[in-house]
Structure 1
Amino acid sequence: MTLVGQPAPDFTLPASTGQDITLSSYRGQSHVVLVFYPLDFSPVCSMQLPEYSGSQDDFTEAGAVVLGINRDSVYAHRAWAAEYGIEVPLLADMQLEVARQYGVAIDERGISGRAVFVIDREGVVRYQHVEEQTGQYTVRPGAVLEQLRGL
């Protein structure tokens, strides 16, 4: 399922930052990078999200915000973010509703797949990459920044 060229499905989810975040609130203001990942505290995710968080200045310079999304609770997100120094907002999609909208829910395992979506200021999906297996992490922040610079 490709969403490229289509309006990004809108959502509102609770975030590790303490407020609810609505995707459409960024329209007209900034690009959005959605980073779906399976589980807090898992080995590959504990490399991926800190890497995106560490590149936050580069994403800001490119006019984008990064949002991490998975099925863990806000409480798990806060603990994980504190332990790993993750500063990007982590959104709690506990029923996998948003993951389903983006075609990345793995319902039989109760998790989302690992995927990255770039949404432009108009709310249109301009890039998507879904890893074939949850243990893969092939699209690094630098590759996503290249996509952003091309917008």
Structure 2
Amino acid sequence: MIKTGAKAPDISLPDQDGNVVTLSDLLAEGPVILYFYPSDFTPGCTKEACSLRDMQTDLVASGLRVVGVSPQDSASHRRFADKHQLEFILLADEQKQAVKAYDVDGPLGFGVRRASFLIAADGTILDSIQADFMIDRHDEFFRRAAAQMKSSQD
């Protein structure tokens, strides 16, 4: 996994609507939480996505944008977003380009590790977490990221 203080690799992938989204374009508008998750519609990934949905107001108020990445295609992401009223970007990384760039590939190349990165507008990774099964640790990470960004605005 890429370490805190490193430059975030730039990625360009299709979102849930098939539009190509480039991380550097998003960062030009402000900091990003980039979170990797194994799969749409699984219990843990659904819990994590819905937690982010429920925190969306606080995250946006702190200046953060949320971007999810997993290997499913755009159509799967669209169904997932619609079913759970997700208003943030979900990127389709079918070839696992971003997964490999951020070094969050699963053991022996199978699956994807559950990992999240707080990326500053200049592309520096400010904080990160990797906890495959402890989803509550990711919730804490998201809250901490929002608080950190909010305090930097004051």
TM-score (norm 2): 0.88
- 1:34 is aligned to 2:34: yes
Aligned to 1:7: 7
Aligned to 1:136: 134
Residues 12 and 21 of structure 2 are in contact (CA less than 8 Å); yes or no, is this contact kept in structure 1?
A: yes
Q: Which stretches in structure 1 are left out of the alignment for 5+ residues?
A: none
Q: Secondary structure at the match of 1:7?
A: coil
Question: Percent identity between the aligned chains?
Answer: 28
Q: Secondary structure at the match of 1:111?
A: coil
User: Which segments of structure 1 move beyond 6 Å, counting only runs of 4 or more?
Assistant: none
Partner Cα separation in structure 2 for residue 48 and residue 35 of structure 1? 10
Change (3 A) 1:103 1:143: same
Q: Secondary structure at the match of 2:39?
A: coil
Change (3 A) 1:71 1:23: same
Which structure 2 residues correspond to residues 14-53 of structure 1 after superposition, within 5 A? 14-53=14-53
Structure with greater proportional helix content: 2
Q: Secondary structure at the match of 1:53?
A: helix
Partner Cα separation in structure 2 for residue 101 and residue 120 of structure 1? 18
- Root-mean-square deviation (CA, aligned residues, Å) is 1.6
Aligned to 1:149: 150
Q: Deviations over 1:48-79 (max 9, x none)?
A: 11111222221111111000100011111111
Q: Secondary structure at the match of 2:138?
A: coil
Partner Cα separation in structure 2 for residue 109 and residue 83 of structure 1? 29
Residues 118 and 148 of structure 1 are in contact (CA less than 8 Å); yes or no, is this contact kept in structure 2?
A: no
Mean Cα deviation higher: 34-43 or 12-21: 12-21
Partner Cα separation in structure 2 for residue 74 and residue 107 of structure 1? 25
Aligned to 2:69: 69
Q: Secondary structure at the match of 2:35?
A: strand
